Amino acid sequence: MIMEGLIKEAEEFLGENPAPDVMDAGLIANAQRVEHYEIAAYGAVRTFARMMGHNDMVSLLQQTLDEEGQTDQKLTKLAESGVNQEAERAKNKK
Ligand SMILES: [Fe+2]
């Protein structure tokens, strides 16, 4: 349900026909919302697994959680490497 909402949000954003630079920044921000949702979900399930003593699952879920965090960090770096600044410039040209 949440993922469907995030996809719908991205579709609505794209439907506004943003300038290419604004589109890049917006899609990165949307992807980060997806990652943050995943981080919350995997973190909770990992904790439940730990509480139930499923240590094999805990390590796998922690590995997935770490990967989601790394993806989020890569998206932040991408956004801050110039994409957001280009989007702001494009927006100010309008
Ligand atoms: Fe992810």
State residue 38's pLDDT score. 97
Per-residue pLDDT, 94: 66
Residue type, 38: E
Domains identified in the chain and CATH numbers: 21-93 (1.20.1260.10)
Residue 94 alpha carbon to ligand 1 centre in Å: 33
**Which residues of the chain fall below pLDDT 50?**
none
CA–centroid distance, residue 92 to ligand 1 (Å): 32
Residue 61 has a pLDDT of 98
Q: How far is the CA of 36 from the centre of ligand 1 (A)?
A: 8
| CA 74 to ligand 1 center in whole angstroms | 11
Residue 70 CA to chain centroid, in angstroms?
11
DSSP 72-84: HHHHHHHIIIIIH
Residue 19 CA to ligand 1 centre (angstroms): 26
Note the pTM of the prediction, 2 decimals. 0.90
Query: Quick one: tokens of 91?
Result: 């927006």
The pLDDT of residue 13: 97
